[in-house]
């Protein structure tokens, strides 16, 4: 795989294509998940199914009494799932935690306007918020937060030296030992590590929707307007992220990438899902 080429990663089995897709992601262990329900709209809670593809094998988990109308899903290490409604009001317990059998076990609220929901290998939730929550909800005002699987607030962003407040969390990368926040308006790359102060590095890259990090190597994907398929490869220095090369992300056969529907940033990997939403591709900068 060349540095600007996506590789096929996971595909939703055809047997599920008639169901309505609500959300899809790739978790901390590299498993791809699709949250689906029947096409018929019904008022109130509904039943859904999570289809998981892991190393070419697939299985499903039925979830009962899902309440989210704008759902985002991720998994826990024990086989359970979290489903959160991206939009909420004060008093709404918009986050549902499901056990490995699909039964709801916990509910709590994390704030309005969820842009990114990523669980880590310990089962904590990392959430990045978009502007309507940052400027409209006290729980979302920090722009990026970490929560336990039972709703305990564990961490929230505040500007480090050389950093700025978050108006909109454009990209969030959650890896084994670190998280990386890429916020509007400054578009600095902020490193988050347990027990250490936040570290902000300036960048010249604006509007990216995904960021991958491996050692001192960084890749930013996306941008404004004609830069939606842009790939910027850069290197980390003490205080900045310095551009090394700029190209256009392509598939392995050289064909263009459609405007992505979703980008999930996990350590050195960028998972990209295009308009069809039934498959994921991957760019892994640790293999370059």
CA distance 220 to 211: 5
Q: Return mean pLDDT, the chain.
A: 95
pLDDT at res. 288: 59
pLDDT at res. 161: 84
Residue pair 200/190 in contact (Cβ under 8 Å)? The answer is yes
pLDDT at res. 212: 98
CA distance 99 to 105: 7
Q: Encode pLDDT of 65-109 as tens digits.
A: 999 999 999 999 999 999 999 999 998 999 999 999 999 999 999
pLDDT at res. 189: 97
Full-model pTM = 0.96
CA distance 284 to 288: 7
Q: How many CB atoms lie within 10 A of CB 64?
A: 13
pLDDT at res. 192: 97
Q: Encode pLDDT of 209-236 as tens digits.
A: 999 999 999 999 999 999 999 999 999 9
CA distance 33 to 54: 9
Q: Encode pLDDT of 27-54 as tens digits.
A: 999 999 999 999 887 788 999 999 999 9
pLDDT at 2 over 70: no
Q: Model confidence at 162, in pLDDT bands (50, 70, 90)?
A: confident
pLDDT at res. 92: 93
Average pLDDT over residues 152-177: 94
pLDDT at 1 over 50: no
pLDDT at res. 248: 95
If one looks up domain 5-287 in CATH, what number appears?
2.130.10.10
pLDDT at 114 over 50: yes
| Nearest residue to 52 (alpha-carbon basis) of 8, 6, 21, 10 | 10
Strand 269-273 and strand 32-37: the pairing is: unpaired
pLDDT at 3 over 90: no
Average pLDDT over residues 58-67: 96
Domain boundaries, the chain: 5-287
Average pLDDT over residues 4-27: 96
């Amino acid at each position: 795989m060349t540095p600007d080429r996506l590789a096929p990663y996971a595909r939703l089995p055809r047997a599920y294509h008639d169901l309505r897709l609500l959300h899809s992601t790739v978790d901390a262990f590299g498993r791809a998940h699709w949250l689906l329900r029947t096409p018929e709209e019904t008022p109130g809670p509904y039943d859904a199914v999570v289809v998981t593809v892991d190393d070419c094998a697939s299985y499903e988990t039925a979830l009962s009494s899902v309440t989210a109308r704008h759902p985002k899903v991720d998994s826990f290490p024990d086989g359970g799932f979290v489903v959160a409604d991206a939009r909420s009001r004060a008093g709404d317990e918009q986050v549902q935690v499901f056990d490995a059998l699909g039964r709801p076990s916990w509910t709590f609220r994390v704030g309005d306007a969820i842009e990114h929901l990523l669980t880590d290998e310990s089962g904590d939730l990392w959430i990045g918020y978009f502007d309507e929550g940052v400027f409209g909800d006290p729980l979302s005002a920090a722009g990026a937060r970490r929560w336990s699987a039972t709703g305990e607030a564990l961490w929230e962003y505040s500007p480090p030296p050389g950093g700025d407040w978050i108006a909109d969390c454009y990209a969030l990368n959650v890896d084994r030992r670190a998280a990386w926040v890429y916020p509007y308006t400054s578009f600095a790359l902020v490193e988050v590590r347990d027990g250490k102060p936040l570290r902000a590095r300036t960048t010249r890259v604006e509007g990216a929707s995904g960021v991958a990090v491996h050692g001192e190597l960084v890749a930013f994907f996306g941008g404004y307007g004609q830069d939606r398929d842009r790939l910027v490869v850069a290197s980390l220095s003490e205080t900045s992220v310095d551009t090394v090369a700029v190209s256009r992300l392509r598939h392995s056969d050289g064909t263009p990438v459609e405007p992505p529907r979703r980008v999930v940033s996990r350590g050195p990997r960028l998972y990209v899902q295009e308009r069809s939403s039934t498959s994921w591709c991957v760019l892994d900068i640790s293999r370059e």
